[in-house]
Amino acid sequence: MTAEAALSDAVRAQMQPRWSNILRLAAITGVIVVLLALSYYPAEINNWTRLLKGNDFLDGMVAQFLNPDFADLDLYLSKMLETVQIALWGTVLSVIFGAPLALLASSNIAPAWVVFPMRRLMDASRAINDLVFAVLFVAVVGLGPLPGVMAIFVHNLGIISKLFSEAVEAIDERPVEGIRTTGASRIQEILYGVIPQVIPLWSSFSLYRFETNVRSATVLGIVGAGGIGFTFNEAFKGFRFEEASAIIIVMVLTVTVIDMISSRLRKMLI
């Protein structure tokens, strides 16, 4: 048998359907379909036709949204800047505190009796939505940007440490072993063998979380945690939909610009 024929047989064998995989996929699909069916009425999907029914209030709101009012554009821009600053501080704090916690949550760096509680602590941090944290911090320190910063910080602490620890666990161990053979301490192994390998990924993750946090910070203002979300909520509750429309446009443009810049920086880092 020639090499080409053997290769063709191997390719054909790879293209043959594997019934075990097909059955597994069918079982998973069946479970998803059953769950969707059981959730159909509890989630009120049967009422989807309400979305197509117009009314005077909806028609008036849409008409106003289509005519945005930029009379207070300076206010919207200043509040949007405040929102970005909230996201920036929350992200930086989560990175500063998340990096050492990530090392303690990495199974190839820390012992199991340290890794397990650290991971559970970080699970709890990211399991609670940042909006919930914002409500709690507003109750503690009052209205303003600080509750937004703290909410983003605490919530993202769990996310950042999780992403960072996964990057640490995926490193090449050979540079670390080489440094260890020189008689270096454990701290030196981490500083010179681990950190240089994960810095590009850590930087990329941090940028991604920052652009995500800008979007989150626009919502936190609704509960009084500063930023443009509070201004939007006041305009919407006051039925000033032209102003609400202008605020939404400012938010979309700002987030779009930040996403574009962040994406370009991430490509440079990885």
Q: How confident is the model at residue 11 (pLDDT cuts 50, 70, 90)?
A: low
* DSSP string computed for 9-55: HHHHHHHS--HHHHHHHHHHHHHHHHHHHHHTTTTTGGGGGGGG---
Q: What is the pLDDT of residues 163-218, one digit of tens each?
A: 999 888 888 888 888 888 887 778 888 888 888 888 888 888 888 889 889 888 88
Q: Supply 167's token pair.
A: 């990057």
The model's pLDDT over 80-92, given as tens digits with 9 standing for 90+, comes to: 999 999 999 999 9
Give the whole-angstrom CA distance, residue 226 versus residue 216. 12
Task: In whole angstroms, give the CA distance from residue 241 to residue 62.
Answer: 8
Rounded to whole angstroms, the Cα distance separating 209 from 259 reads: 11
CA 85/CA 251 separation, integer angstroms = 14
192: Cβ contacts below 8 Å, ≥ 6 apart: 179, 184
Q: What is the pLDDT of residues 94-151, one digit of tens each?
A: 999 999 999 988 888 888 888 898 988 888 888 888 888 888 888 888 888 898 999 9
Report the C-alpha gap between 27 and 4 in whole angstroms.
Answer: 38
Distances (CA, A) of 109 to 7, 77, 178, 184, 190: 44, 45, 16, 15, 8
Q: Which 8-state DSSP code applies to residue 143?
A: S
Distance of CA 215 to the CA centre of its chain: 9
pLDDT range class, residue 55, cuts 50, 70, 90: low
Q: With the CA atoms of 136, 141, 142 and 146 taken in that order, what torsion angle do they form, in degrees rounded to the nearest 10? A: -90
Cα–Cα dist 220/79, whole Å: 13
- C-alpha 237/C-alpha 222 separation (Å) is 11
Q: Is the pLDDT of residue 158 over 60?
A: yes
Inter-residue contact 260 to 252 (CB < 8 Å): no
Q: Is 195 exposed, middle or buried (0-12, 13-18, 19+ CB in 10 A)?
A: middle
